Structures are given as C-alpha cells and as structure tokens.
C-alpha cells in the first residue's frame, strides 16, 4: 500500500505535465540539494517530486504504482527485468556507486533506458580504508628502515590503481594483477605471483561470473576467485583484505583456511551480505559493514556524477558542484605520513569493527542491523592528497 506522501506525489504528477518524479535510495547523499527543480530544470514552473525509499525496499510494485521518470539507486537494489517489467516510465537509472554488478545494463539498453554509475567516486576513500586496515594490524610498515611491505593488488581499475599510488608514496613494493589491462609498471605480475609473494593481498575487482550459456559471460570470472585453491597458494602470514564484493571470496573456504593458518583477514563485504554468521565474524581480524567508501567526499562525488549524467540526459546545465557543500577538511595525507601515530585520529577503523560486532545476536548479524549501521554511519573525511 502506498503511503500518503507517495500518493500525493502520484496525484501531483498526474496533474502536471512539467513534473519529474524520482524514486531514490534514501542513502544517497544530498538528494534534495542536487535533484530539486531549480537544479534540474532551471525553470520556475517545473516540479521535481523525490520519493526516498530504503534501497532494499525499491521493488517492482512500487515502481509500477509510482511510474517514476528517474530511478536513483545504490548497490543493494538489483535493477533488471524483474524490477522494471511493469514500469513504462523510467528513462534514466543512476547508481551512486562504482560497481555495476547489480544492474542488467543489456536489459536497460534494450529498453532505451539511460544508465550512469559513479565510476571512481570513492577510489580515495576505499584506498585509505585499505591503508588504515594494513597499518592498524601491522604498524611496523610505517617504518622505512624495515623490510618494505609487498602489497599485492588484484584489480587495477580506479581503486586498485589509486591504492598503488599510495603504496608507492610509502615506499612499498607493488605486485599488481589485472588480466583486462595491458602490462605496466603496476600491472606487473601473475595471479599466482601476487598470491604467493605478497605480505598483503587486497581485492579490487568487479563481481563477474562465468556463464556458459551467454557469449558475454566473463572470460575472467571473479566469483569465488579466492577459494580453497587460491588460498592454498598464499603464505599463512599474508594478510587478505576484501573491500570489493563479498562473493569474490568463498566464505566457507575462507573459514577453513583461517582455522588452518590463523591468517589475518579484513572484510568490509561478505558473501551472504547483509547477513553474517558468527562463525565467520569470530575469525576475522577486522570486519566492517560495507562502509569502505563511506566518506563525505566519496558520497557527494557519487551523487555529483549521477546528477551530472541526468542533467546531460535532460539537456540542462549542471549548476551545483559538490565543493559548494563540502565542509572544511583538515585531514592531510602529508600530515599523516609525517605523524603516523595520528592514524586513529584520521580513521578509527576498530570503532567500525566494534559497532558491527555489537550487533551479533543468536549466532548471526541480521540484515536489518547491518543495513542500519550503513544508513546511520557517521561519514568520515577523505585525507586530502
């Protein structure tokens, strides 16, 4: 059943040929600032109706009832035929996220629905998350006098390549593997070399699967890329970090590996997210609720990118920049490098770990509690590069 506000929006839409109706994930930053009438239409007579909904509650019935022109989502809303089959109005889908595995882009193209995602929006946020995890668990790697860290990076897109830049700044050795990119100074190793020769392995790949019935199935599937076979290649001392997509790691194989090796593992994403079992959680060195990219800058940048794309779709001039909304930032990367003891002040990752573990009840973390942590997360700041 539609609530009163939604019903009013539908009536307003029916009464106005100059209105735009937007259904949006309520977890998208600064929706009203970017997507009001003056920002989109720049015409006083135009109205923009924004219906905000929890991402997992955006469903086919809602879209069939409301018939929005625009759908704005994050990673928790799968978009494809199941969602849009009974909707004839959506002409633009924007995902304020880097990843796109939750969107059937072929289906949208067949329906002539424009799609935009926020590629690169949180590349510094996630890279800084990874650095914080490494240096929280292994602070000795701040010291240039010790044997430098060998950081293995699997996936060298926006995030992986940004992480490599930070690693180079710290004097670390980088072993990178990305079969979709040409060989370079960073893309310099095989998968086996990255796994077997790194002190830390960090995953930055999209979620893809091998589909034998589909010629567009990936030649380099990443689902369960890390399983019993690949884990066996990694030395027990190698720290494993996943801030990409949960199913990239086979959770059952990971649990068995930690039992066998006592490996340190950091997970921000989980195979069966948003539920997390106690048996897995108890074995992790650090666990956080899919917030690696949750900074003020990363969130605003994500909204900015899909706002700009919608303005292009509507053939109007963008008039708002995220920099107009940013508060003063005093977190400088140069300061942190000079004073490593201030890391906790820059980002206290163990606070996020404790918040997640506090939700454990009856042998698991429930999906509603996981989502609440994300929704209520106090956005941290990116370190200024």
Convert the pLDDT of each residue in 308-328 to its tens digit: 999 999 888 898 999 999 999
Higher-pLDDT residue of 82 and 217 is 82
Residue in 305, 267, 288 with CA at minimum distance from that of residue 353:
288
Residues of the chain with CATH 3.40.50.720: 4-117+297-324, 123-292+341-375
Q: Can you give the pLDDT at residue 5?
A: 52
Residue-wise burial string across 365-376, b where 16 or more C-beta atoms lie within 10 A, e elsewhere: beeebbbebbee
Which of 10-24, 91-105, 151-165 is the least confident region? 10-24
Predicted pLDDT of residue 128: 98
**Which token pair is 200?**
């830390």
The pLDDT assigned to 136 comes to: 97
The pTM of this model reads 0.89
Active site residue ranges: 245, 273, 290
Residue 276 pairs in a beta bridge with: 365
Residue bearing the bigger pLDDT, 123 or 6? 123
Across the chain, mean pLDDT equals 91
Cα–Cα nearest to 359, from 287, 295, 292 = 287
Beta-strand ranges (E) seen in 155-259 are 173-177, 200-203, 239-242
For position 263, what pLDDT does the model report?
98
Please tell me the predicted confidence (pLDDT) of residue 148. Answer: 84
Q: Class of 123-292+341-375 per CATH?
A: alpha beta
Which of residues 277 and 1 earns the better pLDDT score? 277
pLDDT at 204: 98
Q: Are 59 and 31 in contact (CB under 8 A)?
A: no
Going by pLDDT thresholds of 50, 70 and 90, the confidence category of residue 42 is: low
Token pair recorded at residue 67: 């018939």
How large is the average pLDDT for residues 265-282? 97
Least confident of 21-25, 43-47, 225-229, 333-337: 43-47
Q: What is the pLDDT of residue 147?
A: 74
Q: Give pLDDT, residue 55.
A: 95
Task: Report residue 7's pLDDT band, with 50, 70 and 90 as the boundaries.
Answer: very low
Q: Domain 4-117+297-324: give its CATH superfamily.
A: NAD(P)-binding Rossmann-like Domain (3.40.50.720)
Alpha helices in 262-295 (DSSP H): 278-281
Strands (E), the chain: 19-25, 47-53, 70-73, 92-95, 114-117, 150-154, 173-177, 200-203, 239-242, 265-267, 276-277, 286-287, 364-365
Higher pLDDT, 365 or 18: 365
**Alpha-carbon distances of 34 from 16, 78, 327, rounded to whole Å:** 21, 23, 16
pLDDT at 45: 65
User: Do 52 and 26 touch, CB atoms closer than 8 A?
Assistant: yes
């Amino acid at each position: 059943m539609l609530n009163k506000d939604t019903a009013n929006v539908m009536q307003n839409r029916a009464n106005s040929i100059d209105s735009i109706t937007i259904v949006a994930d309520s977890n998208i930053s600064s929706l009203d600032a970017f997507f009001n009438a003056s920002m989109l239409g720049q015409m006083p007579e135009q109205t923009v109706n924004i219906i905000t909904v929890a991402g997992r509650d955006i469903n086919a019935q809602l879209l069939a009832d409301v018939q929005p022109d625009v759908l704005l989502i994050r990673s928790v809303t799968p978009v494809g035929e199941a969602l849009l089959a009974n909707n004839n109005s959506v002409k633009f889908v924007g995902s304020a996220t880097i990843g796109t595995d939750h969107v059937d882009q072929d289906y949208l193209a067949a329906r002539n629905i424009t799609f935009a995602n926020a590629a690169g929006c949180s590349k510094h946020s996630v890279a800084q998350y990874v650095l914080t995890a490494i240096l929280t668990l292994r602070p000795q790697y701040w010291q240039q006098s010790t044997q430098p860290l060998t950081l293995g990076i699997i996936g060298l897109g926006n995030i992986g390549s940004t992480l490599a830049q930070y690693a180079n700044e710290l004097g670390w050795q980088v072993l990178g593997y990305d079969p979709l990119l040409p060989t370079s100074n960073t893309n310099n190793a095989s998968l086996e070399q990255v796994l077997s020769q790194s002190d830390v392995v960090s995953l930055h790949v999209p979620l893809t699967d091998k589909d034998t019935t589909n010629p567009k199935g990936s030649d380099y599937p990443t689902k369960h890329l890390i399983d019993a076979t690949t884990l066996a290649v990694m030395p027990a001392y190698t720290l494993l970090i996943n801030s990409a997509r949960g199913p990239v790691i086979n959770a059952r194989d990971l649990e068995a590996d930690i039992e066998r090796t006592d490996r340190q593992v950091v997970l921000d994403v989980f195979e069966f997210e948003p539920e997390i079992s106690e048996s897995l959680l108890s074995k992790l060195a650090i666990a956080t609720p899919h917030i690696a990219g949750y900074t003020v800058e990363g969130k605003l940048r994500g909204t900015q990118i899909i706002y700009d794309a919608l303005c292009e779709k509507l053939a109007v001039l963008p008039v708002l920049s995220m920099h107009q909304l940013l508060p003063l930032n005093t977190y400088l990367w140069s300061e942190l490098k000079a004073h490593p003891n201030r890391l906790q002040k820059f980002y206290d990752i163990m606070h996020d770990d404790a918040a997640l573990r506090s939700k454990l009840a009856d042998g698991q973390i429930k999906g509603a509690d996981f989502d609440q942590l994300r929704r209520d997360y106090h956005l941290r700041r990116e370190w200024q590069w």
